[in-house]
Chain A
Amino acid sequence: MTPFTSARAEDAADALRLGQSSATAYLGGGTNLVDLIRETVARPTALIDVTGLSREIEETEGGGLMIGAAVRNTALAEHVAVRTHYPVLSRAILAGASAQIRNMATVGGNLLQRTRCTYFYDTDGSRCNKRAPGSGCDAIEGFTRGHAILGASSACVATHPSDMCVALAALDATVHLQGNGGARTLPFVELHRLPGDHPEFDTVLEPGELITAIELPPMKFAATSTYRKVRDRASYAFALVSIAAALEIEGGLVRDVRIALGGVAHRPWRASKAEAALRGGPATEEAFRAAAIAELADAVPLRDNGFKIELTKRTLVAVLGDLAGAAA
């Protein structure tokens, strides 16, 4: 392990002051970063412990929720307002990792979780453009069962691993940031980027910029929402594909809908085409299938993951069918 120093930030201003150097990394629960440092994938020379940032979950004036960056995953999943008004978020968190890890992991850290592509972790034997920019990618011609089918590039086919982020993408969340230029907000769906020619950048964060909170807008129909994760074993595994969805039906028609897909792309994939196909139309299995086909029209399979295209469609149809049943 590369040596590093460690310091604890009392608040966001403190973290920004300490986080000036380019070799500094912010540390939340450590459930991903500590592992990356141990495997020498990440080599920060200074860690700034930011678990002293807000751990509050507060109702906003508009009736949404403001979630502090240092809120633990378990605390968010068990919060009564989340369970009641945004069940998709509770379900997504509870589908991720193990209880021990959810007790440690923070909301801010979860957003910056890095891909679980095994080639990214294999510092001894694999080329990886995300770990060592320009070195090449051994995943594309390798074992690609877990890799991307949407939005990938010739430089990188890695997927984003977080379940929680898929729910946040569906919920129209906003990310609150603080940097040296001041505070700003960003739609959650714009935080993570597609790989393009620079897969080493997972997000659009500026150097030293800090996530301080996640805001959920009020969305009444999100009370009819859920998350379904398909994986190789029943628990404690990353998604092959996952679906976060919320559905509002009125008079048999889809009044409003939110859908995001996990396990299929370099970022949580907001399914805008499927949403557009559904909005205003009948809430039937046929329509759900047509929407799924529209969303996956541009999917490009790799050697081992072609099954994900049909799996994603079928899972989406099933999830929407369940929600339609619950909403009826």
Chain B
Amino acid sequence: MPILVNGSAVALPDDPRVSLLDLLREGLHLAGTKKGCNQGACGACTVLVDGERIVSCLALAVQYDGRQVTTIEGLADGDTLHPLQQAFIDHDGFQCGYCTPGQICSAIGMAAEAKRGVPSHVSADLTADVTLTREELQERMSGNLCRCGAHNGIIDAIRQTVEAEMAA
């Protein structure tokens, strides 16, 4: 089965060593997803698979046949940015922008996790509904590093967007 990348069917690579990240960047020329550490430690390569966030550098593409992969290129509606993309601009959520696609994909996955009640390391009550306080957002986004130190703007952008999302 092919992989569905942003809605388009993509053939699996012949070489099983090809990571999902390299398939996206080298095979499909979708350069939005970034290669940072290539070791799962920075989150720059985060994409959504069937709506869940993963690091694509540690994913072998052959394991993802039949799955739906969404990258940063798949989020905007034509020239209309995804609300979170717009919020990153409004809140100065980036400087060099290298971590931004991973941050945005990660935040979308994070919002879905919070909405279905997944607790985090800082949740005092494991069974309560999730309230995305600043502390919760910081912990839940801690798999995405920003070397410019734009974390405060990133958290502000996410907070504004997911508050609207959680309320919906």
Contact = CB atoms under 8 A, between A and B. Distances in A.
A51 interface: yes
Interface in A22-42: 27, 29-31, 34-35, 38
B140 interface: yes
A94 interface: yes
Interface string A71-109: 000100110100110010011001101111101100000
Contacts of A98: 40, 43, 55, 142-144
Contacts of B113: 74, 99
Contacts of A34: 19, 58-60
B104 interface: no
Contacts of A4: 16-17
6 cross-chain pairs, A with B, having the tightest CB-CB distances, nearest first: A98-B143, A6-B16, A235-B142, A83-B126, A78-B118, A94-B121
Interface stretch (B46-54, B73-81, B82-90, B150-158): B46-54
A209 to B, nearest CB: 22
A128 interface: no
A27 B119 contact: no
Nearest to B139: A235
A97 B58 CA distance: 13
Given A35-B40, A90-B126, A98-B43, A104 B117 contact: no
B127 interface: yes
A143 interface: no
B119 A94 contact: yes
A3 B17 CA distance: 7
A5 interface: yes
B58 A99 contact: no
Given A34-B19, A90-B119, A27 B63 contact: yes
Given A3-B17, A51-B63, A90-B126, A100 B118 contact: no
Contact of A99 (B19, B39, B53, B59): B53
A227 to B, nearest CB: 10
Nearest to B47: A100
Contacts, number: 103
Contacts of A236: 142-143
Q: In which size bucket is the chain A interface?
A: 35 or more
B50 to A, nearest CB: 10
Nearest to A6: B16
A104 B54 contact: yes
B16 A47 contact: yes
Given A78-B117, A83-B127, A101 B58 contact: yes
Interface of A: 1, 3-6, 27, 29-31, 34-35, 38, 47, 49, 51, 74, 77-78, 80, 83-84, 87, 90-91, 94-95, 97-101, 103-104, 234-236
5 contacts: A49-B63, A91-B121, A94-B123, A98-B144, A100-B54
A100 B119 contact: no
Contact of B109 (A84, A91, A99): A99
B106 A100 contact: yes
B162 interface: no
A115 to B, nearest CB: 15
Nearest to A84: B127
A78 B128 CA distance: 11
Contacts of A31: 40, 55, 58
Contacts of B46: 100
A94 B120 contact: yes
A318 B22 CA distance: 46
Given A78-B119, A236-B143, A103 B58 contact: no
A95 to B, nearest CB: 5
Contact of B59 (A78, A95, A104, A234): A104
Contacts of A84: 126-127
Contacts of A95: 121
A231 to B, nearest CB: 11
Given A31-B40, A34-B58, A101-B54, 11 more contacts: A4-B16, A4-B17, A5-B16, A35-B58, A49-B62, A77-B118, A80-B127, A94-B120, A99-B53, A104-B54, A235-B138
